[in-house]
Structure 1
Amino acid sequence: MRVAVLGAGYAGLALAQRLETRLPSAVDVVVVDESPTHLVQHELHRVIRRPSVADAITLPLRNVLDHAEIVTERVDRVDAEAGLATLADGTELDYDYGAVCLGAQTNFYDLPGVEEHALPLKRVRHAEAIRERFLDVCESGGTAVVGGAGLSGVQTAGELAALVQERDAADRVDVVLLEQFDSVAPTFPENFQRAVRDELEARDVDIRTNTPVRRVDADAVELADGDLSYDLFVWTGGIRGADAMSGERPVVRNDLRLTDRTFVVGDAARAVDVDGEAVPASASAAIREAGTVARNLEQLVTHRLDGDGSCFEPRMKPYRFEVPGWIVSVGDGAVAQVGPKVVTGAAAKAMKTTVGAGYLGSVRAAEKAAELVDEELNA
């Protein structure tokens, strides 16, 4: 029997590690990802200002998986009904049960010129490209524009603003953050939004809400009230499904199952939990979803292997979205929300460091956790 985990982001790695310990040795666990490393995505913005962070947040999959087969290849297509994944090299990987954990891609919403001229922030190479371009802006002067004020956009703008200060370029560089809705971090509670805005404004980020992007050319972003010239344009304006899922993020039921054979986990899906709540795309949700899917796959595999002749599958465990709070970096500061309370300053920054290191520790990467803490403390 084969269980395939397609993608090794937060959901995929967490699921694969659990399956290694939960499933019988007779079951083959195969993990497919286009990269041989796992990326700690929520720390990626740090690379813009601290390139050495890249080493701490990239984990070789072989170091954090014990016996799963690792296939380094891009997944081109998934047939969730048939239990079949087609890889970029033409290989067809069939599975008895599988989980699509391919995450999400940057959504450019077919806005003219955006994909052509913007830099996204999904890979280490993106962060390095943003840094290289922005250092030129700091030397010659100009404007950096970040499109989208969700958490990724906020963190990117915060790093750019901090880099401006480090390069003593405040008199010649502007950092502008655009958001089509009426607040930064628009999907979060109002007190969190206000605290995030205060942190950005304290770092001289020019925040423009209610300002959708219409189109982009090589020199300017077209807005409703005129053109905004730029020297660097970063786009963090939204997500879409992976190409292997035709760009879609399918809706899954509360057990995270798409078909009898296939689950979809993390940002790759639009999930509704057992209480009917929409699950936000986030690392914390993806990791917790993986726990639910691991238990469900264990039950399905055990039922199949036992071969007791029963036509009734075991009852699937539903997922309930429960996270302790939210946290976002803003340059050298941070904003955290725990329950209804919002925390800023040194306490929030310490919490952010703890979250990053704690995640690395949870996936058995203690040395990387120590590296990340050292980077944060000596920044």
Structure 2
Amino acid sequence: MHVVVLGAGYAGLTLTRRLESRLPAGAELTLVNDGPNHVLVHEIHRAIRRPAVAAVISIPIRGLLDRAELVDARVDDVDADARTASLEAGNSVSWDYGAVCLGSETAYYGIEGLREHATPMKSLADATTVREGFLRLCEDGGRAVVGGAGLSGVQVAGELAALAAEEGVAVPDGVELVLLEQFAEVAPGFPDNFRRAVREELEARDVDVRTGTTVERVTRDAVGTDEGELGYDEFVWTGGIAGTAAVGGDRPSVRADLGLTDRTFALGDAARVVDADGDPVPASASAAVREAETAAVNVARLVEHEMDGSAADFRPRLSRYRFDVPGWLVSVGDGAVAQLGPTVLRGSAARATKASVGAGYLTSIGAVRRAAALAEAELR
């Protein structure tokens, strides 16, 4: 019996670690990932201002696994019905039960010139590109534009404002920072009090927040919007996510048991999850980790059912994921906003909350030493 997990992001790594302890001894477990490291994607914005943080948030996967075999290869194509995935260099992998956890790519929505002229924020390499461009901008003066005011865009804008301050450049006099969002508020989809606090933190750092503004086209030196053209010297795009090329750019919808087919699951950013209450689940690290817990229970239950000779019996009942996270967190430069239930925290309390959550996740995947380092980086 062979179980394969595709992707070692939050969902894939958490699922693999849970399956290591849940699967019967005779089952094989393989984790396929494009690269040897697990990267804390929700922290890559920190590397814009603190390049050394890359060593803390990029963790060798092999040291986190006890039982699973790691295959370092890019997944080129997934056929969930046939239970196979084509890998680079003509290799392939097949499974009895599998999980697609390949994460997402930046969505460009067919906007003219966007892909060609914007820098996304999906990797540590992207953070380096943004940092280098912004440091040049700090020397010469100019305008940096961030497209998309979801949590990623908010965090990028906050880091740029803090980096300008550290470089001794005034915002908005020496460097102008503009954050664009097509919806009426920043952090759309989040509770009102959380959104208000996030906007206040941005504006306190002189970020020019322009909501209700849709990006329609991009050229080498200007962003065309429904409000007119906006010149820029650096443009960072965080405006949305799409499926990876391996799944045709799609994020398939899955039900609350996370089943894509009867033997293949999909979770994390790789899927559009509808939970047990029929509500869509927002793409986030916290949701991905919790979805992985449900998927681990279901995969293990099915494997045990088949391996103990019960395959001819009725399929076992599967657990259903219900979206229920304790709150939301976002960094804004040296500040943060945290919502715990109805309470919104800011300042040192929010920063401490964010540091503890990040450290708790690292501890849960076995990276205990990294947990202390991340907490120190968050509170610096």
Separation (CA, whole Å) in 1 of partners of 2:290 and 2:310: 31
How far residue 309 of structure 1 moved from its aligned partner, in angstroms, is 5.2
Aligned to 2:344: 342
- The letter of the residue matching 1:266 is G
How is 1:1-379 mapped onto 2 (pairs within 5 angstroms)?
A: 1-170=1-170, 171-308=173-310, 310-377=312-379, 379=380
Does the residue aligned with 2:345 lie in a helix, a strand or coil?
A: strand
Separation (CA, whole Å) in 2 of partners of 1:5 and 1:103: 12
Does the residue aligned with 2:183 lie in a helix, a strand or coil?
A: coil
Does the residue aligned with 1:38 lie in a helix, a strand or coil?
A: strand
Separation (CA, whole Å) in 2 of partners of 1:342 and 1:373: 21
Separation (CA, whole Å) in 1 of partners of 2:373 and 2:348: 20
Separation (CA, whole Å) in 1 of partners of 2:287 and 2:192: 21
Separation (CA, whole Å) in 1 of partners of 2:310 and 2:295: 23
Does the residue aligned with 1:3 lie in a helix, a strand or coil?
A: strand
How far residue 114 of structure 1 moved from its aligned partner, in angstroms, is 0.6
Separation (CA, whole Å) in 2 of partners of 1:87 and 1:40: 24
| Mean CA deviation greater in 115-124 or 304-313 | 304-313
Separation (CA, whole Å) in 1 of partners of 2:30 and 2:36: 13
How far residue 149 of structure 1 moved from its aligned partner, in angstroms, is 0.1
Does the residue aligned with 1:296 lie in a helix, a strand or coil?
A: helix
- The letter of the residue matching 1:357 is A
How far residue 7 of structure 1 moved from its aligned partner, in angstroms, is 0.2
Percent identity among equivalent residues? 60
How far residue 80 of structure 1 moved from its aligned partner, in angstroms, is 0.6
Change beyond 3 A, Cα 1:223–1:310: same
| Mean CA deviation greater in 6-15 or 65-74 | 65-74
Separation (CA, whole Å) in 2 of partners of 1:319 and 1:106: 26
How far residue 92 of structure 1 moved from its aligned partner, in angstroms, is 1.8
Deviations 1:188-207 (A, max 9, x none): 01111100000000000000
Segments of structure 2 that go 5 or more residues without pairing to the other structure are none
Separation (CA, whole Å) in 1 of partners of 2:229 and 2:37: 40
Contact 2:305 2:311 survives alignment (8 Å):
no
Change beyond 3 A, Cα 1:309–1:51: closer
How far residue 260 of structure 1 moved from its aligned partner, in angstroms, is 1.0
- The letter of the residue matching 1:271 is V
Does the residue aligned with 2:190 lie in a helix, a strand or coil?
A: coil
The count of residues paired between Structure 1 and Structure 2 equals 378
- The letter of the residue matching 1:61 is I
Does the residue aligned with 1:76 lie in a helix, a strand or coil?
A: strand
Segments of structure 1 that go 5 or more residues without pairing to the other structure are none
- The letter of the residue matching 1:121 is M
Separation (CA, whole Å) in 2 of partners of 1:374 and 1:215: 41
Separation (CA, whole Å) in 2 of partners of 1:370 and 1:254: 35
How far residue 240 of structure 1 moved from its aligned partner, in angstroms, is 0.6
Contact 2:104 2:244 survives alignment (8 Å):
yes
Separation (CA, whole Å) in 1 of partners of 2:313 and 2:80: 21
Separation (CA, whole Å) in 1 of partners of 2:286 and 2:189: 16
Change beyond 3 A, Cα 1:306–1:194: same
How far residue 161 of structure 1 moved from its aligned partner, in angstroms, is 0.5
Contact 2:85 2:93 survives alignment (8 Å):
yes
Separation (CA, whole Å) in 2 of partners of 1:100 and 1:89: 20
Separation (CA, whole Å) in 2 of partners of 1:335 and 1:309: 50
- The letter of the residue matching 1:129 is T
How far residue 91 of structure 1 moved from its aligned partner, in angstroms, is 1.0
Separation (CA, whole Å) in 2 of partners of 1:81 and 1:309: 19
Does the residue aligned with 1:129 lie in a helix, a strand or coil?
A: helix
Does the residue aligned with 2:143 lie in a helix, a strand or coil?
A: strand
Deviations 1:341-375 (A, max 9, x none): 11111100111111111111111111111211222
TM score, norm. by length of structure 2: 0.98
Separation (CA, whole Å) in 2 of partners of 1:85 and 1:123: 24
RMSD of Structure 2 on Structure 1 (CA):
0.9
Deviations 1:155-177 (A, max 9, x none): 00000011111111113101100
Separation (CA, whole Å) in 2 of partners of 1:190 and 1:296: 35
Contact 2:150 2:186 survives alignment (8 Å):
yes
How far residue 376 of structure 1 moved from its aligned partner, in angstroms, is 2.9
Does the residue aligned with 1:169 lie in a helix, a strand or coil?
A: coil
Separation (CA, whole Å) in 1 of partners of 2:158 and 2:216: 24
Contact 2:351 2:378 survives alignment (8 Å):
no
Separation (CA, whole Å) in 2 of partners of 1:39 and 1:12: 12
